Chain A
Amino acid sequence: MACRTCLWLLGTTFFTCTVRLVVEGTEVGATQGSHPEPGVVGSNHSQAGGGHGSSISGIQIVTFKWHHVEAPYLIALWILVAGVSKMVVELNHNLTSVIPESALLIIIGWILGGIIYGADKMQTFTLTPTVFFFYLLPQVILDAGYFMPNKLFFSNMGAILVYAVIGTCWNAATVGLGLWGCWLGGAMGDIDIGLLQFLLFGSLIAAVDPVAVIAVFEEVHVNEVLFIMVFGESLLNDGVTVVLFNVFDAFVSLGGAEIDAVEIIKGIISFFVVAFGGSLVGIIFALLISLLTRCTKNIQIIEPGFIFILGYLSYLTAEMLSLSAILSIVFCGICCQKYINANMDERSVTTVRYVMKVLANGSETIIFVFLGISAIDPAVWVWNTGFILLTLLFIFVFRFIGVFLLTWILNKYRLVPLEFIDQVVMSYGGLRGAVAYGLVAMLDENKFKEKNLMVSTTLIVVYFTVMLQGITMKPLVTWLKVKRAAVTELTLAEKIQNRTFDHMLVAIEDISGQIGHNYMRDKWHNFEERWLCWFLMKPSARKSRDYIFNIFHQLNLKDAMSYVKEVRATHKVRESHDNLILYLQTQDIVPSVCLDMHEQDLTMRESEDFNAHHLLQQHLYRGRKQHRHRYSRSHLETNRDENEVQEIFQRTMRSRLESFKSAKMGVAPAKKIQTKHQKKDKPQKVRGEGTFSPFLHVRPHSHPLIGNVMCMLIKPFRGRFSSALFIQSSKCGGVKMECHLVNIQKQKSRLGLLLLIPAFGTSTFKKGK
């Protein structure tokens, strides 16, 4: 079955190619393959289709107008071919888990390139720098920026910068100088090249490529710190690469004689300008996007478009100003994430996420396929054993040395040191990819006589890293990891305990804090909350965001109780109390059920333990360690984490209040909440919460409660803020509630505790201060 599908798909691809070739005819153009569009010399098929002669007599009913649609048709056809290739590649999961997708796509590219070359006797379609840098790369990087796990990124920013800047400079210098030295020593034979050209080549081959890195790390699951290091490095090193490339390019143009200290200083300054300038452009555009989404309430249907357009513009603007375009679009994505997710309608956010993934995935596929195709072009191949082999050797060896050296230095300053295995993975994972190829293809042949040699070498380097290192990465990681408990053998007790340990560790980490007080982080946080959110977020979004950090956790129950004492609430309404509890319990507690069964469960289907293990697998809270804040090219995270967090949060708060209440009232602690079966369609019996709380044991004296005080958590979803309260008033049969937004702690928090006190009386919304 799979075989048949495979053949069918391959046949389609082949057919598509043939169609194209037939259409183009065998007319051999004199042009080479470096057009900005994959256009080609068209043939003269625009002749009338129906008639035999060339004279135009009478009306043509149907004409074959190839030239009319040539350019867009070819583009669309290529996108289709790339998509079909990806489909073919993904047919067999066993294959993709061994060989990364990117490698397979390159192989398909080779096949296609071979077909085209065979028909055309020249490579009509190649990956041209313009197409690559303007049409294929931006969406990949925007995707990376938008989905970047910010907290992780910024907390490791120092290390990432060290690797990106110093590491890349080190790589560039060592590779360039090493090659130059070897050339001087005669290992490469006779080639027309100089020190500056070597340095330039070194700088463009030194950079780790974001596209390739992601493609490989999709399959290999590494810990999040390691991942963010490599990923962050691959994104940020563009700043360095651009500068080095331009500087050395200019130097080569100037000629060696003109270089003096001034020029070198100018080079160094240009690094700072390019890097910071690029980031600044990105941040400005992020601000623009956020502001724009503040006002797009009435045009929600096209809201998502703005993100893409403005992101692309940030890229182009930076390019225009000769700043680092990749840095610009990365920071644009990173900075605007939070605000646009808060401002836009949920459906728009979903749209943005999906479209972003489609574009990024599509681009990546096309990039890899074309990387393969571009190789099948004898015109660019120049073989110089010494050059190529030495390049491979140097980038590999110097990468290792560089990473280990830098890590050794960094570990002195880091709280959690990077281990040996992490360093090995980081060195081994320094893949080069299409960016290097794009840069090398941009070189001017007149200045660089050995351009073709460099192109060939770059291609070989790319293939080597992507394919060989990609394939062997996973086995290497597995081999290096010392012990890995087999999942199938864990007993129930072990499973539960493991999860308990996870939660315990997270809790202790939170209690002990990473460093007593992170001054800078707190300052930034305060600044951001006061000013940025006010400026960039819609008012309604502002109110509901970050419920954890604003409402409730400035909770000082003592103050809350004393406030309540002052409020004259006269009647208790039993019914509304229960309704409130129901509301608390049922509101949005709909965790998405994970439908795919763990493999282990399938094998244990026979045993009785199946049920218990299955339940554990499905329903244990995952805890923060397992909330994969990972970036993934092909998977979108569902909202399960958010629901889980909410659920836990509500339960904790409820249990604290329960214990508090019962402490005050002197009721026995294990009071179960009886619930009426509500009329909703969920017939589930809600479990009572046995109250456990330290708040109970150690607060024998508490302030008298008047009425039933229930802390109401308003779920922070856009617009539901107000609707939640209205639900209550309607549920209580027309009795309106008195709601106060209390600012518990007198200092900074704007949203304090929301107390709902059932009372007869009109409802007033008062923002008490």
Chain B
Amino acid sequence: MGSTNSTLSKIPNVEELMQETGFTPAHIVRLYDRFEALDKEKTGHLRPQDFGAINRLAMNPIGDRIIGAFFSPGQETVDFHSFVRILAHFRPADKKHPKDPSMPEPVNSRTSKLKFAFQLYDQDKDGKISRAELLQVLRSMLEMQVTEEQLESIADRTIQEADLDKDDAISFEEFRKSLEKVNIDHKMSIRFLR
């Protein structure tokens, strides 16, 4: 594995990465090892198949969506930087740093986390979760025996609850508002990425 420093030196722009994401060098090294482990053909990039090889993801109803979130639209591969950037969303929020309005929003702030979650729903990237998109997600998360009518009724109800401007879609603001009581930091953080 080599020492931390030697591994770090292999990664280009690692300082910038650490600044941007807030990961410690030890973390970066660990994630790099993981990246290399996934990248079986040593191309330096990950393709969907590499993610697909992770056994457990197939057992996850939204596994494929998450995989998709790693790839920017149009891109076929993920390099290490993008990999780390996405994972940085799941860092627990830094409680100590005061909010500095001049600095850009940290990757693991509540808003960024919510944006990530929002993008999982909003596949066509139009800034709204349409009824069809919501239906798609619901379908994948509910058991097979739920019929189409039941699905639609749930989707309708959900949109009714969350949709404030009555456009039959959920915008990011409405999404955020509907989740204001939820402790996002708790729900969307992985402790070992601290």
Give the CA-CA distance A697 to B125 in the complex, in Å.
14
Indicate if the CB atoms of B52 and A415 lie closer than 8 Å: no
- CB under 8 Å from chain B, chain A span 556-613: 556-558, 585, 589, 591, 593, 609, 611-612
* Interface hit among A37-45, A115-123, A291-299, A499-507: A499-507
Does B54 count as interface, using CB distance less than 8 angstroms?
yes
Selected from B54, B71, B120, B188, the residue in CB contact (under 8 A) with A694 is: B71
| Residues of chain A within 8 A of B68, CB atoms compared | 692-694, 697
| A648 and B59 contact, Cβ closer than 8 Å, known pairs A511-B54, A619-B145 | yes
Give the CA-CA distance A548 to B191 in the complex, in Å.
27
Does A76 count as interface, using CB distance less than 8 angstroms?
no
| Residues of chain B within 8 A of A552, CB atoms compared | 58
Give the CA-CA distance A496 to B67 in the complex, in Å.
20
Indicate if the CB atoms of B62 and A507 lie closer than 8 Å: yes
| A698 and B143 contact, Cβ closer than 8 Å, known pairs A416-B192, A648-B60 | no
Q: Chain B's interface: helix, strand, loop or mixed, by majority?
A: helix
- CB under 8 Å from chain B, chain A span 689-737: 689-690, 692-695, 697-699
Does B56 count as interface, using CB distance less than 8 angstroms?
yes
| Residues of chain A within 8 A of B48, CB atoms compared | 694-695, 698-699
Does B81 count as interface, using CB distance less than 8 angstroms?
no
Indicate if the CB atoms of B181 and A517 lie closer than 8 Å: no
Q: Mark B84-122, 1 if CB is under 8 A from A, else 0.
A: 000100100000000000000000000000000100100
Shortest CB distance A748–B (Å): 13
Indicate if the CB atoms of B117 and A497 lie closer than 8 Å: yes
| Residues of chain B within 8 A of A690, CB atoms compared | 136, 139
- CB under 8 Å from chain B, chain A span 457-495: 483, 485, 491-494
- CB under 8 Å from chain A, chain B span 16-73: 30-34, 36-38, 47-49, 51-68, 71, 73
- CB under 8 Å from chain B, chain A span 495-554: 496-517, 548-549, 552-554
| Residues of chain A within 8 A of B123, CB atoms compared | 692
Selected from A492, A500, A656, the residue in CB contact (under 8 A) with B141 is: A500
Indicate if the CB atoms of A513 and B34 lie closer than 8 Å: yes
Does A393 count as interface, using CB distance less than 8 angstroms?
no
Per the CB 8 Å criterion, the residue count for chain A at the interface is: 77
Shortest CB distance A693–B (Å): 5
Indicate if the CB atoms of A516 and B153 lie closer than 8 Å: no
Indicate if the CB atoms of A492 and B157 lie closer than 8 Å: yes
Shortest CB distance B151–A (Å): 8
| Residues of chain A within 8 A of B63, CB atoms compared | 503, 507, 652
Shortest CB distance B83–A (Å): 9
| Residues of chain B within 8 A of A635, CB atoms compared | none
Indicate if the CB atoms of B53 and A496 lie closer than 8 Å: no
| Residues of chain B within 8 A of A491, CB atoms compared | 161-162, 178
* Interface hit among A235-243, A344-352, A679-687: A679-687
Indicate if the CB atoms of A656 and B190 lie closer than 8 Å: no
Shortest CB distance A472–B (Å): 27
Does B167 count as interface, using CB distance less than 8 angstroms?
no
Selected from A500, A513, A619, A651, the residue in CB contact (under 8 A) with B117 is: A500
Give the CA-CA distance A554 to B40 in the complex, in Å.
12
Does A649 count as interface, using CB distance less than 8 angstroms?
yes
| A511 and B154 contact, Cβ closer than 8 Å, known pairs A692-B64, A692-B68 | no
* Interface hit among A51-59, A259-267, A326-334, A620-628: A620-628
| A496 and B59 contact, Cβ closer than 8 Å, known pairs A514-B192, A516-B34, A698-B47 | no
Give the CA-CA distance A485 to B187 in the complex, in Å.
12
Does A79 count as interface, using CB distance less than 8 angstroms?
no
Which residues on B are within 8 Å of A, measured CB to CB? 30-34, 36-38, 47-49, 51-68, 71, 73, 75-76, 87, 90, 117, 120, 123, 136-148, 150-151, 153-154, 157-158, 161-162, 178-179, 181-183, 187-188, 190-193
> Please, could you name 10 A-B residue pairs with CB atoms under 8 Å apart, sorted by A?
A496-B158, A504-B117, A509-B190, A515-B33, A585-B144, A615-B142, A651-B144, A652-B58, A692-B123, A699-B76
Q: Identify the 9 closest CB pairs spanning chains A and B, nearest first.
A: A516-B33, A694-B68, A501-B187, A415-B192, A507-B66, A698-B76, A516-B34, A493-B178, A612-B157
Which residues on A are within 8 Å of B, measured CB to CB? 415-417, 483, 485, 491-494, 496-517, 548-549, 552-558, 585, 589, 591, 593, 609, 611-612, 615-616, 619-621, 623-624, 644-645, 647-649, 651-653, 655-656, 684-687, 689-690, 692-695, 697-699
Extra contacts, 15 of them, besides A501-B117, A591-B145 (Cβ < 8 A), are A491-B161, A494-B181, A503-B62, A504-B120, A508-B90, A511-B51, A511-B57, A513-B37, A516-B34, A553-B52, A615-B146, A620-B141, A690-B139, A697-B73, A698-B71
